């Protein structure tokens, strides 16, 4: 029995502009160091209120500096992954798993029905075998407006989805 050749499902590339990002991050780090040195060097000698204000400012600057450091470390060696969708069907063929997608909505004033309809139609237009894709809408508010919007979307989907599959 011949062994199948392994083909990767995606390609990993370095993000462009990493050197510029690293230069900007280094300049921000230098600025943070200057701010911390300034705070430590000029401790208030005045009253108790000034000291508590200084401590509060210093602690908040330390916290935001730590947060900035964490987010910058995550972006330091950024990559993008480009998927090869056609290889997925080549590798798995008809063995693709079934997918259930749930769209939840409750209030038609906070979540306009047009957004809910756009979400459902976009998911139905996925490039995935239609017999293995199920989209469910959960309307916890039981809104008539959302119900009638989905009825109109069902009629519209008869022309929209074939257009999406074609183009």
Cα separation, 13 vs 98, in Å, equals 30
* Structural domain boundaries, residue 103: 94-166
Out of 52, 80, 108, pick the residue that ends a domain. 80
Q: Is 140 annotated as a binding residue?
A: yes
Is residue 120 in some structural domain? yes
Is residue 3 in some structural domain? no
Cα separation, 87 vs 4, in Å, equals 13
Is residue 133 in some structural domain? yes
How many domains does the chain fold into?
2
> Among 100, 103, 84, which Cα is nearest to 92's?
84
For 26-74, the pLDDT digits (tens) are 999 999 999 999 999 988 887 788 889 999 999 999 999 999 999 999 8
For 79-121, the pLDDT digits (tens) are 999 988 778 777 776 677 888 999 999 888 888 999 999 999 9
Q: Could you tell me the pTM of the whole model?
A: 0.52
Q: Is 111 annotated as a binding residue?
A: yes
Cβ-based burial of 167 (10 A; exposed 0-12, middle 13-18, buried ≥19) = exposed
Is residue 5 in some structural domain? no
> Among 128, 97, 116, 126, which Cα is nearest to 154's?
116
């Amino acid at each position: 029995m011949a062994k199948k050749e392994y083909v990767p499902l995606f390609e990993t590339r370095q993000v462009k502009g990493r050197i510029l990002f690293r230069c900007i991050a280094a300049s921000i780090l230098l600025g943070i160091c200057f701010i911390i040195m300034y705070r430590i060097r000029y401790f208030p000698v005045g009253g108790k209120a000034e000291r508590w204000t200084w401590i509060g400012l210093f602690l908040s600057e330390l916290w935001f500096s730590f947060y900035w450091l964490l987010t910058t470390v995550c972006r330091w060696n950024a990559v993008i992954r480009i998927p090869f969708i056609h290889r997925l069907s080549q590798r798995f063929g008809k063995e693709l798993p079934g997918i259930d997608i749930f769209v939840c909505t409750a209030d038609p004033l906070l979540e306009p029905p047009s957004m809910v309809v756009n979400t459902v139609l976009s998911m139905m237009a996925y490039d995935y075998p239609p017999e293995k894709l199920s989209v469910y809408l959960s309307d916890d508010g039981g809104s008539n407006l959302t119900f009638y919007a989905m009825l109109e979307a069902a009629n519209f989907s008869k022309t929209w989805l074939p257009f999406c599959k074609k183009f």
